[in-house]
Each structure stands twice: as structure tokens, then as C-alpha cells.
Amino acid sequence: PSGIPVQGGTGVTTSIASSLSVLQGIYPEKPRLVHRLDRTTSGLLILARTRKAAQDLTLRFHNGTSPGSEDDPAAPSKIVKKYLAIVSSAKPIKAASHDGSFRLQGDMLLTTTGKAQIIQMAPSDSSISSLAIKSVWPSLTDVVIVSQNFHSGTYWALLNLYPRTGRKHQLRVHCAQMLHAPILGDLKYSGAGPMVESRSAPRIYLHMAELELKDWVANTEDQASRIQKGESHRITKDGTLIVTGKPEDDMQRAMERLGFIK
């Protein structure tokens, strides 16, 4: 669920990281974190039971796509992450293809203003001083429009977001600054204007809904039989492990209210 920090920090007394020993159970070692979610994001959080699994998963999450592919985001992916997001915009979102898919790609900047750090897309002009830029991160997100509706004077869309790079706040910044459709509840990147109030929500409606681990099961018939099947995960014929997680009740209600689901 959202609201639970993955790692500790200032003012954080309880987190997933501090509770790993509780999750050890009968296993010889406690599970390990291999990635993280923002505190406001709900959905799948994968833990590794062994050191070997942790090394493999950490490499996959760190690289985003195939080994060495942060320089080539279009390379075949060893891991596929699918997020579900509710976004709002001043006009309907247009896709580049008939299936509702398109790509958001550009450089993200980490800049400083005084003591404040700001993450944003690189502008087309030279409005930002090079002295203020601390980091430049190439970023890429594939997008699929699931549904769009006009509700209470605002255009709303339900999107599947597939980050091909793993930059901080990447999906939030891409939606707000490249798509001009901030995620519902994300007031940090919504900016000013008459639509800000309509975007207010108890939390950010961004949910990690599905995770694919390519070639996770090397010998499908042998190893797949050891993995208990369930509603939340399955193994494909090529050895890919697919794990899914349903959105929380509040996000389900928001999707119903906006006409995305019945």
C-alpha cells in the first residue's frame, strides 16, 4: 500500500527496510531490498530471498534494460515494469499509433536553487544556467492510453506507463512536463493554474501493477514446477516470471468515478 516508506530517513520510525527480519520466517537469511517505490506510490515491491537473487534483481533494476543499455534505452529489456496512472489534462491526449501507444523521451535535469533541489525536463532554450545543473539524466517512458473521459470540466486518462530508465520521479515529471497531464494528486509537479484544485487527492494515484522478469526460469519445466502458482503471478513458456498487483481500493473507486471501470 501507499504511505509506507521503503527505507528509513528523517522522521521515519518504521519502514520496509527496518521490518525485513520480521519477513524472514523459516528462511536462513532475511530478504533483501532490490528496488524502491516512492512513499506515495502503491503496488509491487520485490524482495530477494537469497544473495544471488538479490544480485541478479539489483542489476536488472539498476540497468533498466539489457546490460549496459542505459546508453541505449531501446535495447531489449530484461525487466519490464508497468505502472497504472490516472492523469488530467486540458485537452485529450493524442497517441502516435492506433493502439494508443507512444513514447516520452528526453533529458531530465537535477538543478539547485539556493538549498533547494529541483528535478525537471531540460528546456528547449538556455533558460537554466549551466552552473545550476548538477546532473543530466537521459530518460525514456513508453505509454499506452487505456481509457480517456471528460468529467467535471477536465479531460482524464488512465495510462499504462513503462519506464525504460529508472530516474527519480521520472514518471511524475514525464506526465506533468512532457505530456502536460499531471498524475492525480501530484501537486508537486502540477504547477499553478485553474486545474490544480481538480488534481487534489489524498495521495498520488500511481500504482506499480505488473513486473516481468525475462528469462527468470532457466529450465522452465523443472524450475517452474517449484514455484507455486497463484492469482498474482505466472510463468510463461519462455521462462518469464510475471507478477501482478491490483490497485488499492481508493484508486479503484477513483477509476470507477471517472468512468474507467464499472
For the residues 65-74, what does the mean pLDDT come to? 48
* Helix %, strand %, coil % of the chain (to 5): 20, 30, 50
pLDDT of 99 > 70? The answer is: yes
- Choice between 21 and 163, residue whose per-residue pLDDT is larger: 163
pLDDT band at 139 (very low <50, low <70, confident <90, very high): very high
Domain presence at residue 200:
yes
Domain presence at residue 17:
no
d(CA 161, CA 138): 17
pLDDT of 141 > 90? The answer is: yes
pLDDT at 91: 94
Domain presence at residue 14:
no
Residue 201: which domain range? Answer: 27-257
- Choice between 68 and 262, residue whose per-residue pLDDT is larger: 262
Tell me the CATH number at 46: 3.30.2350.10
Domain presence at residue 172:
yes
Q: How far is CA 109 from CA 25, 61, 122, 168, in A?
A: 42, 21, 6, 10
The C-alpha angle with vertex 54 and arms to 70 and 11, in degrees rounded to 5, equals: 90
Domain presence at residue 15:
no
d(CA 95, CA 227): 38
pLDDT at 170: 96
Poorest-pLDDT segment among 23-37, 138-152, 186-200? 186-200
pLDDT band at 227 (very low <50, low <70, confident <90, very high): low
Domain presence at residue 178:
yes
Domain presence at residue 216:
yes
Domain presence at residue 33:
yes
pLDDT at 225: 56
pLDDT of 109 > 60? The answer is: yes
For the residues 237-247, what does the mean pLDDT come to? 91
Active site residue 38: yes
Catalytic residue chosen out of the listed positions 38, 56, 107, 250: 38
Per the CB < 8 A criterion, the answer to whether 185 and 205 are in contact is yes
Q: How many domains does one find in the chain?
A: 1
